[in-house]
């Protein structure tokens, strides 16, 4: 078997390690021996220990993923370590190391040090003939301007030919949730090699991991084009979401149901991916990625280019949860100081346990800043690290609260009987389209006040 190392065991790297470990040949034998590598800190050790015992290091609703990591553990071709010397035996290294940016600053700056250090470590250990596949979402130009210079410098020190190690870029489209693992193995991939030969090596590897028969690969002409595709793809979605913000406020102001309007618009095929009203944008990608290209244009290419829509979308999306606070105050007709508020859902999207850049964080911080007494609940999270809040697994009684905000459409919430749980005269503000029309009407017959972000009062 060939040896594959996954550098970085976060939400992408941990899942990628499983995807590679379950790849099979025509005889249904494992193709790769997979080693995940992470830092020797507390978080890194927790992930390593989980993988080495056949457990996924994050809460997930993906049963296929959980079964797959257990199977990989049993067949003995998936392990994890902090030892960087394992890169010396690697045929392939997949880089899944975070690359951050001060995305809310007036002049966002790429934070490249950790990423550079990771590439330097690879350069100190990697051997001739190996493929380094950058899967991390990186600013356009990173492979050419950052990865290649560092790698070539380290290889030259070791008297290894710089063209003997192959570099390619193929961005992930991982979607944590019920199809977490299949978003890697059964989904379309874009890739490019820094050289033609590197592209060929990358294509062969990806074709062993991805179901290319049903989801063919798309090869681009350069790593710069591939890097741009990822950032532009995420920026498009972020701008689409930001666009809905002003129409959300309009719909509530004139008392119409914006969901009804958008459903009608989506009948037109060219507009089928228009977004819906909600609490706001969250997660590690859409919040920051629109600022990558403006920053890279200046820092990597020394070109001062304007990206007004992209930059405006970042700020609009960041502030979107504040509208839910304003709407709540309007509905309650009071200041929030001393009011008991229950927030249901704190992860950045449904059916995952990832709280990074969650819009619920902005929501809860603002509620607390205005003096509200906030209780949080999430079926996937027992401790919210960013706010240092512990949470019960059980949903508390509705009578304990002046208002309830439905912030994330977890399937547990979608399947929950809110009309029976709610108390008479209680206020439920649905900020994530949890309740359908029948549930809203039933709740109102029981004296429960139901309102929604994106709908006028009483709709």
Same domain, 167 and 310: no
Estimate the crossing angle of helix 223-254 against helix 308-332, to 10 degrees.
Answer: 30
pLDDT in tens, 308-360: 999 999 999 999 999 999 999 999 999 999 999 999 999 999 999 999 999 99
Residue 348 belongs to a domain: yes
Same domain, 22 and 145: yes
Residue 314 belongs to a domain: yes
Same domain, 50 and 195: yes
Of 226, 248, 274, the residue that ends a domain is 226
pLDDT in tens, 212-245: 999 999 999 999 999 999 999 999 999 999 999 9
How sure is the predictor about 391, in pLDDT bands with cuts at 50, 70 and 90? very high
Residues 296, 141: contact at Cβ < 8 Å?
Answer: yes
Same domain, 432 and 373: yes
In 150-230, at which residue ranges do the beta strands (DSSP E only) sit? 166-169, 190-193, 218-219
Residue 410 belongs to a domain: yes
Same domain, 278 and 212: no
Residue 104 belongs to a domain: yes
Q: Which two structure tokens, joined as six digits, stand for 260? A: 């009804």
**Nearest C-alpha neighbor of 165 from the set 191, 197, 117:** 197
Q: Which two structure tokens, joined as six digits, stand for 173? A: 């489209």
Cβ-Cβ contacts under 8 Å for 35 (sequence gap 6 or more): 3, 4, 5, 6, 79, 80, 81, 86, 90
Residue 94 neighbours by CB distance under 10 Å: 28
pLDDT for 282 beyond 90: no
CATH code for the domain in which residue 396 is found: 3.40.50.720
pLDDT in tens, 49-103: 999 999 999 989 999 999 999 999 999 999 999 999 999 999 999 999 999 999 8
Residue 241 belongs to a domain: no
Q: What is the pTM of this model?
A: 0.93
Same domain, 215 and 308: no
Q: How confident is the model at residue 64, as a pLDDT?
A: 97
Q: Sheet containing 373-377: which strands, arranged edge to edge?
A: 373-377, 340-344, 403-406, 427-430, 449-452
Task: Annotate 288-339 with DSSP letters as a single string.
Answer: TGGGHHHHHHHHTT------HHHHHHHHHHHHHHHHHHHHHHHHHTS--TT-
pLDDT for 181 beyond 90: yes
Q: Which two structure tokens, joined as six digits, stand for 82? A: 């902090």
Residues 116, 153: contact at Cβ < 8 Å?
Answer: no
Q: Is 13 exposed, middle or buried (0-12, 13-18, 19+ CB in 10 A)?
A: buried
Count of domains forming the chain: 2
Cα–chain-centroid distance for residue 336? Answer: 31
- Structural domain span for residue 448: 256-452
Residue 409 belongs to a domain: yes
pLDDT for 387 beyond 90: yes
């Amino acid at each position: 078997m060939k040896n594959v190392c996954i550098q970085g065991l976060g939400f992408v790297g941990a899942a990628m390690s499983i995807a590679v470990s379950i790849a099979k040949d025509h005889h249904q034998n494992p193709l790769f021996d997979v080693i995940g590598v992470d830092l020797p800190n507390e978080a890194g050790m927790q992930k390593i220990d989980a993988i080495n015992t056949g457990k996924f290091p994050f809460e997930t609703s993906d049963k296929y993923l959980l079964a797959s990591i257990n199977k990989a553990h049993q067949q003995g071709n998936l392990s994890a370590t902090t030892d960087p010397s394992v890169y010396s035996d690697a045929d392939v290294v997949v880089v899944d190391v975070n690359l951050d940016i001060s995305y809310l600053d007036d002049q966002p700056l790429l934070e490249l040090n950790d990423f550079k250090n990771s590439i330097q470590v690879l350069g100190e250990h990697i051997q001739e003939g190996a493929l380094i596949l950058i899967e991390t979402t990186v600013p356009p130009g990173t492979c050419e301007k950052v990865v290649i210079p560092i790698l070539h410098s380290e290889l030259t020190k070791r008297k290894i030919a710089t063209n003997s190690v192959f570099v390619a870029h193929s961005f992930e489209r991982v979607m944590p949730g019920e199809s977490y693992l299949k978003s890697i193995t059964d989904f379309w991939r874009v890739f490019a090699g820094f050289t033609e030969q590197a592209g060929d090596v990358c294509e062969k590897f990806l074709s062993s991991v991805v179901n290319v028969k049903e989801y063919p690969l798309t090869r681009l002409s350069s790593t710069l084009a591939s890097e741009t595709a990822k950032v532009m793809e995420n920026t498009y979605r972020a701008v689409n979401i930001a666009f809905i913000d002003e129409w959300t406020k309009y719909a509530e102001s004139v008392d119409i149901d914006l969901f009804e309007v958008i459903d009608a618009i989506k009948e037109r095929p060219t507009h089928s991916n228009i977004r819906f009203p909600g609490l706001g944008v969250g997660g590690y990608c859409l919040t920051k990625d629109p600022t990558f290209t403006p920053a890279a244009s200046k820092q990597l290419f020394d070109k001062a280019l304007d990206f007004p829509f992209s930059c405006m979308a970042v700020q609009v999306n960041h502030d979107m949860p504040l509208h839910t606070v304003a709407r709540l105050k309007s509905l309650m007709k009071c200041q929030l100081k001393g009011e008991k508020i229950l927030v249901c859902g704190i992860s950045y999207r449904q059916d995952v346990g990832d709280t990074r850049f969650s819009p619920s964080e902005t929501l809860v911080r603002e509620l607390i800043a205005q003096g509200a007494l906030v209780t949080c609940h999430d079926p996937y999270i027992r401790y919210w690290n960013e706010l240092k809040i512990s949470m019960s697994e059980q949903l508390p009684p509705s009578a304990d609260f002046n208002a309830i905000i439905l912030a994330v459409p977890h399937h547990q919430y979608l399947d929950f009987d809110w009309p029976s749980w709610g108390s008479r005269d209680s206020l439920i503000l649905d900020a994530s389209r949890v309740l359908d029309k029948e549930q809203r009407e039933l709740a109102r017959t029981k004296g429960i006040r139901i309102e929604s972000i994106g709908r006028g009062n009483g709709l």
